[in-house]
Each structure stands twice: as structure tokens, then as C-alpha cells.
Amino acid sequence: MMRSMILVFFAALCATGAQAVAAAPATEQAQLRVIRTFPADSPAVSQVHRWLLEQPAKMRPPATAAALGQVRTSYVMHASDPARRALLTRTDVAFPERGQTGDAVSIDSCAGDTRLHWTYRWDATSAQAGWQLQASELERVPDCTAAMAALPGAASQG
């Protein structure tokens, strides 16, 4: 009896959810998150290193791309435009170099016993429109493989 009540409740909840989605305004934008991990010697790590050197930061990246080690990028895009979404499927770049208001990028790297983390958000409203640093962190870790595997979203990568 309890099981059938739960199933009826779940069915009603699904029907309500479907109606809410169907009633959503056509102007809403989708949020797309792409998480990628790159080996230490990949061209994408060099791109990320160059990009970090160009950004405002309280914590500078290492002097060389090789010193970043393995790199994981997480890019959140508020995109309704298929051309913008297509930027995230390109394999020749880690993430787009420019964004739109609300876009965010997180970069994690690990080499030796050092894990580095940066988070930026695109802001077009200030006089200095562009990527604005939100957070940076340096952490000593006993094992880079374990540290990178423990990052949010790491288990969902294929």
C-alpha cells in the first residue's frame, strides 16, 4: 500500500514537473557545464597556462606549462546560441577565451605535491570587462591522482 502511494506521488510530481517545464518562458537560457581533464604534456595545458598568465590573479601560475601538471577545466556557459555551445565541443582548445555575462571557468592543476585552483567569472558590466578572479587556492597534497579524482564532478567524467 505504501509503495503504491509513493508511486502515485512520484507520478503526480513528474506530471507537475513536466507542466512547469512546458510553461517556462521561451527566453530562458540553458546552462551547460563541460569538464575536461588534460594530461600534463598536452597542447591544452599550454593554452590554459598562457590564458592564466593573461588574467588578473592574486596567485600567479607556475613559470612553465609543464609545472602545472595535469589540468582539469570546468566551464559553465549560459548559452542559448548553438554557435556558442559548439565552442565547448572543440578539442583544439580547453575552453573559449571570451565569455558572456554569467559564464564561469574553474581550473585545477596538480603536479608533485601542489594542487592549484582558480575560478573566474565573465563580467561585462565593469569598466574592465572580461574574466574576473573569484577565488584562487594553493593546497599541498600527498597524491595528485587522488587529489584530482576527489574534485567535484571528477567521477562523472568518461
> Is residue 77, in this structure, part of any structural domain at all?
yes
> What strand order describes the sheet that includes 130-140?
30-38, 70-79, 104-111, 114-123, 130-140
> Is residue 2, in this structure, part of any structural domain at all?
no
The residue segments making up the domain with residue 110 are 27-150
pLDDT digits (tens, 9 = 90+) for 3-30: 333 333 333 434 433 333 444 444 555 6
pLDDT digits (tens, 9 = 90+) for 24-70: 444 555 678 888 899 998 999 999 999 999 887 788 899 999 999 99
SS (H, E, C) 44-55: HHHHHHHHHHHC
> Is residue 53, in this structure, part of any structural domain at all?
yes
Split into its structural domains, the chain has a count of 1
User: In which residue are the cell numbers 565593469 written?
Assistant: 126
Alpha-carbon dihedral 141, 60, 133, 107, rounded to 10 degrees: -50
Q: Which residues pair with 137 in a beta bridge?
A: 117
8 A C-beta contact, residue 47 and residue 94: yes
pLDDT at residue 84 in the model: 63
CA triple 142-146-147, angle to 5 deg: 75
Q: What is the pTM of this model?
A: 0.73
